Amino acid sequence: MSEHDVLKKNRNFYIGVGGTVLEGLLSGSLFMLLYSVMQFLWSGQFDMNRALILTGVIAVIFLLRILIYSYGYTKAQIGGAEVSKNIRLFMGDHLKRIPLSRFTQGQTGDYINTITSDVNNYEKILTHKIGDLAKSFALSLMLIIFVMTIYVPAGIILLIADLLLIPGLWLSFRMVRKYGKEKNDICAENVSSIVEYVSGIQTFRAYGVGGLKNKTVIGAMREFCRISFVYEAKVLPIGAGFGILSWLSCPLVIWTAYAPWAAGTLNTVDYLLICMLPLFCAKLANSIFVDLTSYKNLMISKNKILGVMNEPEETGSMEPFQTSTHEITFDSVDFSYVPGEPVLKYATFTVPDQKLTAIVGDSGSGKSTILNLIAKYYEANGGTISIGGKPINHVAAERVLEQISMVDQDVFLFDDTIRDNIRHARPNATDEEIEAACREANCDGFIRKMEKGYDTSTGENGNLLSGGERQRISIARAILKNSPILLLDEATASLDIENELAVKQAIANLLKEKKTVVMIAHTLSIVKNADQILVVSDGKIAEAGTHDELLAKGGKYAAMWNAEQKISA
């Protein structure tokens, strides 16, 4: 489905708009009935029969208005909700194909704001604004024509009052363009700050910055207050000025029509009616101004939606990616998250097939970046990455990830049962296969002790489980997926002794099968038996070899090993 199809209005929407307009015209017809009543009263021809007939007509019109409005309103809501549902489904599908490099803190807030607030705003356009505007325009035009049939100059005055909308809306739209987008951007920044604040509330409290000292959130909120005030301060005077001018049509019509009424060329009933209608027309004109200004502001949300929809997706072949071997080769690979700040510089190395390769180095040296590039979470800026001798540069990330299992130090769990969280690794797995994987991952024991066992909920992002429990469930996923390539990113970091031992045993079980394994470790003693150790320094592979070979070299690895031995001594 293209973006054009997603935003396309449906039959229910048009029925809703049509119903709203028809209901508005029926409400306008009451003025014509009022005109008839006034004429009958003035001529002295009003009797009980006519009163009953007019009462019946009014009752029928009132009933029709209720039925048409109810039907049209319901259809408009259904039609608008259908479009917003399609937008959310399209954007959800689209977001999973946007390069991960786009998901910075600010951009994530922008995405959240677009999918929630902006889609809601666009739905409001479809379900309310367009129908209300069409109704107000149709009713205004109907009343102006009606007044012209009675006294042309009065109708012209009302028409001119409505035409004042053009300069008023031009000024209003300029303010919306200038400040509306800024308000929307600041709102997205607020979302980002709040997401960060809520995610890190425990840390903020630990350091005593959970309240006013959290300057980022407070600053973002103050900025939102400021732009909201500025926005209203710029738009409201324009609306007030237009309102004054449109309401001046009332005394102007009274004054213009007075002379022909006094001269007898305009009868009293006509004079009274055209003196009353400008009040209603002025109210309609002000509603149109407010609704169109709001419509223009809400259209910023549509543009934001289109902006996300038009973001480039990851490219690459969706053909199955299969190789007979699974060695991983980096050939002169360079990469940077921020232009001009390289993280990897012409990195060249080979991870042997079905061997364990460990990556060590200082914090920020580029270790995790290597894993991210193997998994195609990010695209290399230069050089070639190959798996089994086949470059992955032009292969879709989805196809590469089919060959990879990952265990990170930050484990993400869905707010679902333990069983279904593990099943995400292989959706067609049986309950028996899941439980077997959990036994290998050293987590079957603690799961069965829980009240509902495998059907226990993990909570939002696994918050009902400990760090070690989440980590072992992550390992169970990797065992269940049983991919030929395994990436381990400091899987035992930040765990207590008991959990670290349990996770290490789970990893040992995971490594029983012959796989191509790349492991990042925070302690060298864990990786000293690796088939190959890569030492990363300043974005380059400084040293490569076995534990004994690297000690014999007396380089960076030897210095790191000696420092670690002194600490543990």
* pLDDT score of 1: 57
Average pLDDT of the segment spanning 227-254: 87
Average pLDDT of the segment spanning 289-313: 85
Class of the CATH-defined domain 3-309: mainly alpha
Q: What phi and psi values does residue 307 have, to the nearest 5 degrees? A: -60, -45
> Is 42 a residue whose pLDDT tops 60?
yes
Q: How confident is the model at residue 210 (pLDDT cuts 50, 70, 90)?
A: low
> Is 201 a residue whose pLDDT tops 70?
no
DSSP letter (8 states) at residue 329: E
Average pLDDT of the segment spanning 128-144: 89
Handedness of CA 554, 556, 560, 563 (dihedral sign): positive
* pLDDT score of 503: 64
Nearest to 149 by CA among 35, 289, 43, 56: 35
* pLDDT score of 386: 93
Q: How far apart are CA 170 and CA 181, in angstroms?
A: 17
pLDDT in tens, 50-91: 778 878 888 888 899 899 989 988 998 898 888 888 888 888
* pLDDT score of 67: 92
Which is more confident, 229 or 314?
A: 229
* pLDDT score of 58: 84
* pLDDT score of 276: 87
**Spatial contact of 69 and 20, defined as CB atoms under 8 Å apart:** yes
Q: Is 519 in a helix, a strand, or coil?
A: strand
Q: How far apart are CA 305 and CA 339, in angstroms?
A: 27
Average pLDDT, the chain: 83
Q: What phi and psi values does residue 5 have, to the nearest 5 degrees? A: -65, -35
pLDDT in tens, 319-363: 888 888 999 999 999 998 878 888 888 889 999 998 888 898 887
Average pLDDT of the segment spanning 442-466: 85
Write out the two tokens for 394: 């032009």
Q: How confident is the model at residue 2 (pLDDT cuts 50, 70, 90)?
A: low
* pLDDT score of 522: 75
Q: How confident is the model at residue 314 (pLDDT cuts 50, 70, 90)?
A: confident
**Spatial contact of 7 and 83, defined as CB atoms under 8 Å apart:** yes
Q: How far apart are CA 493 and CA 482, in angstroms?
A: 23
* pLDDT score of 502: 63
Q: Could you tell me the residue ranges of all domains in the chain?
A: 3-309
Handedness of CA 313, 315, 318, 320 (dihedral sign): negative
pLDDT in tens, 537-558: 888 888 899 888 889 888 888 8
Average pLDDT of the segment spanning 249-273: 89
How far is residue 30 from each of residues 45, 70, 155, measured CA to CA in Å?
Answer: 20, 19, 18
Q: How far apart are CA 348 and CA 495, in angstroms?
A: 32
Q: How confident is the model at residue 413 (pLDDT cuts 50, 70, 90)?
A: confident
* pLDDT score of 327: 92
Amino acid at 93: D
Average pLDDT of the segment spanning 148-157: 91
Among 278-282, 441-445, 502-506, top mean pLDDT goes to 278-282
Q: How confident is the model at residue 159 (pLDDT cuts 50, 70, 90)?
A: very high
Q: How confident is the model at residue 101 (pLDDT cuts 50, 70, 90)?
A: low
pLDDT in tens, 456-506: 888 877 778 887 888 888 888 888 888 889 888 876 655 555 556 666 676
Q: How far apart are the first and last CA of the chain?
A: 63
